[in-house]
Amino acid sequence: MNNLLFGYLDKERLETLRNKFSEMNVVDIAQMFEEIPEEKKLIIFRILPKDIAAEVFSYMSQKEQQFIIESITDKEVQSLIEDLYLDDTVDFIEELPANVVKKVLRNTDEQTRKTINHFLNYPENSAGSIMTIEYVNLHKEMTIKQAIARIKEIGVDRETIDTCYVTSKGRKLEGVILLRQLILSEEEEVIENIMDKDLKYVHTHDDQEKAASLFKKYDLITMPVTDNENRLVGIITVDDILDIIEEETTEDFQKMAAMEPSEEEYLETSVFSLAKHRIVWLLVLMISATFTGNIIKRYEDVLQTVVILTAFIPMLMDTGGNAGSQSSTLIIRGLALGEIKPKDWVKVVFKELRVSLLVGITLAVVNFGRIYFLEKVDFYVSLTVCITLFCTVIIAKAVGGLLPIVAKKLKVDPAIMASPLITTIVDALVLVLYFATATVLLGI
């Protein structure tokens, strides 16, 4: 498909190419820019019909947006910004270098510039930083006929008209009404009588994760954002929330893998930047792993007396790490989705204890049969290994289930308490338990 379009360009059939773009989805066009040779990108962007150019731009990657802004004229920048929704403008400005931001701001009118700067002053990751001011608000005293007339008047420049928010004269948020209700109601009916007063909203300084949680819980398409005096200042739309969910999930994956979060795409990130994001946690985990080495040194006499004990250390440590990771993954997910609260820690520990008893007994019995009957290892050595294994699973499940809750309580991201950190902690506890059990049972 792309080759066909480029063929039109090479043959200078620009009008045909423009018509082809008019029939395509704007998201597909934006993704196509990733494959277009750099020398042709600006030509193709200028060919785009004016009514879809801004929308295509909003779906481009940050790298492509920067290239377009740097390449087009000031007049073209001004025209592009006028056609963009304000939240899309703020989103891409946040990622641009200072010199490119200056080019954008100097080509906007004073009121738009003030509004953009106001948005940029909201705390990062707050509801105010992701909202848009392109919404339809209606007054509660309006009739249905007046409301529909207002939507027709201003709706063309609004991000959505499906959901309209009802305000008083002082912009106080009073309720919400759907376009469907307006169309199906009598023209002389007053909005106040049919609007829904039980609406969900967030404040400008609330965390974006709170907004995402409310969207999921109540199946919302949009959500109003108010200031401290309950005045409507903007709305958040579901497409922005999907971006937030993707960002938060990516960040959690990175933290669970013991890396510093990064918003850059993998292939666009330099080797030095990737190394910088990984090396800190690797150093911390490496240094913390010396504790396990010190524990082994302390019990050198035990290992020299019963050398076979050394062979089972990797199995015990791996099982402990795996068991802890299983628990922590489930608890971190539960905390992220709001299914588990910090106050539920007793329930979590009790449930993980029961799970670990079942799992621990099964693993211990299977291992005893393998070690004692198949490998012909001494009975007391086999017993030592299997008792340690049983206790390891219990400890690992408890640690894996409890640490994310402790992190949440301390207002630290629970994702930090994932596999690498839990494995390090469990390894140290397992070794101490293993050698202590061996000392008692084998009389060393």
Q: Which domain holds residue 88?
A: 2-121
Both 218 and 284 in one domain: the answer is no
Return the CATH number at 198: 3.10.580.10
> Which of 97, 20, 85 minimizes the C-alpha distance to 59?
85
Summarize the chain as % helix, strand, coil (round to 5).
Answer: 70, 10, 20
> What are the pLDDT digits (tens) for 34-91?
888 888 889 889 989 887 999 999 999 888 999 999 999 999 999 999 899 888 888 8
Whether 176 shows a pLDDT value over 80: the answer reads yes
Predicted confidence at residue 127, as pLDDT, reads: 93
Highest mean pLDDT among 16-25, 271-280, 423-432: 423-432
On whether residue 340 sits in a domain, the answer given is: yes
> What are the pLDDT digits (tens) for 413-423?
787 766 677 88
Residue range 323-349: mean pLDDT, rounded: 89
Both 117 and 159 in one domain: the answer is no
Both 228 and 325 in one domain: the answer is no
The sheet with strand 222-226 has its strands ordered as 202-203, 222-226, 232-237
Both 358 and 301 in one domain: the answer is yes
Strands 137-139 and 202-203: unpaired
Indicate the number of domains in the chain: 3
**Diameter over CA atoms, the chain:** 94
Contacts of 418 (CB under 8 A, 6+ apart): 255, 256, 257, 258, 325, 328, 329, 332, 404
> What are the pLDDT digits (tens) for 374-411?
999 999 999 999 999 999 999 999 999 999 999 888 88
Both 117 and 142 in one domain: the answer is no
pTM equals 0.67
Both 275 and 424 in one domain: the answer is yes
On whether residue 325 sits in a domain, the answer given is: yes
pLDDT band at 203 (very low <50, low <70, confident <90, very high): very high
- Token readout for 286 is 């490496």
Both 345 and 276 in one domain: the answer is yes
On whether residue 422 sits in a domain, the answer given is: yes
- Token readout for 350 is 């009790």
Whether 298 shows a pLDDT value over 70: the answer reads yes
